[in-house]
Structures are given as structure tokens and as C-alpha cells.
Amino acid sequence: MTEMISIDLEDAETKGRYVAHIEGSSETGELTFSKTGSTLIIVDHTEVPDSLRGKGVGLALAKRAVEDARKNKVKIVPLCPFFKATAQRHPDWSDVVQ
């Protein structure tokens, strides 16, 4: 991966999303979640356009969600198949991923 990835958080009262912007591309990737109280979020969808696949965008989105969960003392329920599979490959995320 040679492109820089920046990730913004769009946070509302009951849901939110992380949006990945890739240097040199007008397309974005996203990871969406729902909030179930102040200590639990449900990651329900990750989407990366075909043109950005294989560049680490999905992993960057997942890592950011985990970092923010740790910082905010929130647990993650992974309903999204991509996030769930990625979390299984990262046992070090078990402190926040249920």
C-alpha cells in the first residue's frame, strides 16, 4: 500500500460511521455501527469499493474502530462478516471485541 489513508468519524446519537479517504482517489470506504447504550456498539457493515480493495482500507477502518473502542471503554459486537473475520485474525482485539 503506497496511498495514505485518513479516517473520519461521523458520530450521531444512535449510530455512526468511519469514512476512509484515500490519497489520490475520490472514492471512500466506510464502516458503520449502531450504538446500544454508552458501552456497546454493533459494527454492522464495512464497504470498500472494488477499486480500493487490496490496499488495506478495510483493515484500517477496523483498526480505527478498535482504537476508539479502547479509548472510550466501549465493547464491539461484530455483526459485519468482514469485521468479524478480521477480529478473529487479531486475538489482541479480544479486550474490546465480543
Helix (H) or strand (E) holding 82: helix 81-88
Residue 10 CB coordination number (10 Å):
11
pLDDT digits (tens, 9 = 90+) for 56-70: 999 999 999 999 999
- With beta carbons less than 8 A apart as the criterion, state whether 31 and 37 touch: no
The predicted model gives 76-91 an average pLDDT of 98
40: enclosing H helix or E strand: strand 40-47
pLDDT for residue 1 is more than 50: no
Q: Which three cell numbers stand for residue 6?
A: 485518513
pTM assigned to the model: 0.94
Q: Quick one: which of 95, 27, 84, 88 has its CA closest to 55?
A: 27
Amino acid at 90: H
Which residues make Cβ contacts (< 8 Å) with residue 94, sequence separation at least 6? none
Band of the pLDDT at 24, cuts 50, 70, 90? Answer: confident
Q: Mean pLDDT, the chain, as a whole number?
A: 95
Examine the pLDDT at 50 and tell me if it is beyond 60: yes
Q: How confident is the model at residue 2 (pLDDT cuts 50, 70, 90)?
A: low
Tens-place pLDDT, residues 87-97: 999 999 999 99
The Cα-based distances of 93 to 8, 53, 75, 77, 88 in angstroms read: 21, 23, 10, 12, 9
